């Protein structure tokens, strides 16, 4: 049983860490507060090939193993979680196309996504349907060799920068069970009737936009049906959400790591009663708790990623990692604020942003209550066990 990264993963981590330290951390606070889009950082990520991390090499991607995939999100979230979000939706969408797309779809779309020439996200959530994706109202009616799509999607990351957007729709509104009437269409965002209606204001998760998208009689060619067969949309989406939860778990580890670094460094510099506050037991207890939960989160995440690399389904494992790591990130950022005292509440210090960003990790890619039901169902059904 090996709990260490291999040499290739260590080298990759070193490159990522250097990029984050030099290009992201020095500007994160200022750009987040000003609402500036991180164009230069995105361009650097393109040059590094990071937009192709889930795309096979034959289409120009890096085709990373899942542990290295997690390293990308961990390191970037350590610097600025919002930047990791730019890659997150793009990578999930690219993974879905690579695993479920037709050969024509893969050949025409993936090479452009791999370089970042094209960007993407994913259109799932609606104003009236989040956790219950079978409750979506967006429809796609066949009209000759096109689908006519009508509906609204919300909380769409990369909406203003996407060239193609996989959108979950109902191609058969009468199907029972409902998921058999659901499909994914690869929508060209330049299509007539496709519009981004508004940006959603957020507590955290700045740096990337989250938008409401309206599809008003958008005509989508039948060749854009993901996989070429109707009724497989829900399965395609759920398979992608498995790696999406690894992404969220890894981002949570990055947030917790940043909180730990900030708390430790501040506790060594700040003095009270003539000595560093790190000498006080009350502070030491907080540091110990952050560090322990951080390491447990990291091991859970890498464990789930390693099982995915072995070709196993990881519903339970990814659920455990996402649930535990996101809760640990919230705890770590809150305790780091307490270590900082009044300065922890100041926008001049990183910890207030870490707290704001950590909250989303307990909601994104399925709330933590949903994660617990997924874990329990896997255990009760006997499909997997805790060993």
Q: Which long-range contacts (CB under 8 A, 24 or more apart) does 97-103 make?
A: 97/166, 97/186, 97/226, 98/54, 98/55, 98/56, 98/59, 98/61, 99/239, 99/240, 100/184, 100/226, 100/227, 100/232, 100/236, 100/239, 101/186, 101/226, 101/227, 102/223, 102/227, 102/228
Which has the closest alpha carbon to 45: 10, 9, 85, 5? Answer: 85
Backbone angles phi, psi at 333, to 5 degrees: -70, -35
| Residue from 74, 126, 242, 365 carrying the catalytic annotation | 365
How many of the other CB atoms lie within 10 Å of CB of 70?
28
What DSSP string describes 305-369? HHHHHTT---HHHHHHHHHHHHHHHHHHHHHHHHHHGGGGGSTTSTHHHHHHHHHHHTTTTS-HH
Q: Which two tokens stand for residue 323?
A: 């649930």
Q: How many CA atoms lie within 13 A of 373 on its CB side?
A: 5
Helix (H, G, I), strand (E, B) or coil at 238: helix
Task: For residues 377 and 387, give the distance between their C-alpha atoms in angstroms, rounded to a whole number.
Answer: 16
Task: For residues 118 and 99, give the distance between their C-alpha atoms in angstroms, rounded to a whole number.
Answer: 18
365 is annotated as an active-site residue: yes
8 A C-beta contact, residue 140 and residue 149 = yes
8 A C-beta contact, residue 120 and residue 86 = no
8 A C-beta contact, residue 356 and residue 203 = yes
Residues tagged active-site: 365
């Amino acid at each position: 049983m090996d709990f260490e990264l291999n040499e290739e993963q260590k080298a990759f981590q070193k490159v990522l860490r250097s990029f984050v330290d030099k290009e992201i951390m020095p500007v994160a606070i200022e750009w987040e507060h000003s609402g500036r889009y991180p164009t230069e950082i995105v361009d650097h990520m393109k040059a590094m090939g990071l937009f192709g991390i889930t795309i096979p090499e034959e289409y120009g991607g890096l085709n990373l193993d899942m542990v290295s995939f997690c390293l990308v999100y961990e390191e970037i979230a350590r610097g600025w979680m919002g930047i990791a979000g730019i890659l997150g939706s793009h990578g999930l969408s690219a993974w879905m196309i690579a695993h479920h797309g037709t050969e024509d779809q893969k050949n025409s779309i993936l090479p452009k996504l791999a370089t970042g020439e094209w960007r993407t996200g994913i259109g799932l959530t609606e104003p009236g349907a989040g956790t219950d994706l079978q409750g979506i109202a967006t429809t796609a009616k066949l009209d000759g060799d096109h689908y006519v799509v009508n509906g609204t999607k919300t909380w769409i990351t990369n909406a203003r920068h996407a060239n193609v957007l996989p959108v979950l729709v109902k191609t058969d509104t009468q199907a029972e069970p409902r998921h058999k009437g659901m499909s994914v269409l690869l929508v060209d965002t330049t299509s007539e009737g496709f519009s981004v209606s508004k940006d959603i204001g957020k507590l955290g998760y700045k740096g990337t936009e989250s938008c409401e998208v309206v599809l008003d009689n958008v005509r989508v060619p039948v060749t854009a049906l993901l996989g070429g067969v109707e009724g497989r949309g829900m399965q395609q989406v759920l398979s992608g959400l498995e790696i999406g939860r690894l992404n969220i778990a890894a981002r949570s580890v990055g947030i917790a790591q940043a909180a730990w670094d900030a708390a430790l460094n501040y506790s060594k510099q700040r003095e009270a009663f003539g000595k560093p506050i790190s000498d006080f037991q009350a502070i030491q207890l907080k540091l110990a708790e952050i560090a322990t939960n951080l390491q447990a989160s990291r091991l859970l995440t890498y464990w789930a990623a390693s099982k995915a690399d072995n070709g196993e389904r990881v519903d339970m494992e990814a659920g455990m990692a996402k649930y535990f790591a996101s809760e640990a990130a919230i705890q770590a950022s809150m305790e780091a604020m307490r270590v900082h005292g009044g300065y922890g509440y100041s926008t001049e210090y990183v910890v207030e942003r870490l707290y704001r960003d950590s909250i989303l990790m307990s909601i994104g890619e399925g709330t933590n209550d949903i994660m617990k039901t997924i874990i329990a169902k896997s255990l009760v059904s006997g499909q997997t066990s805790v060993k």
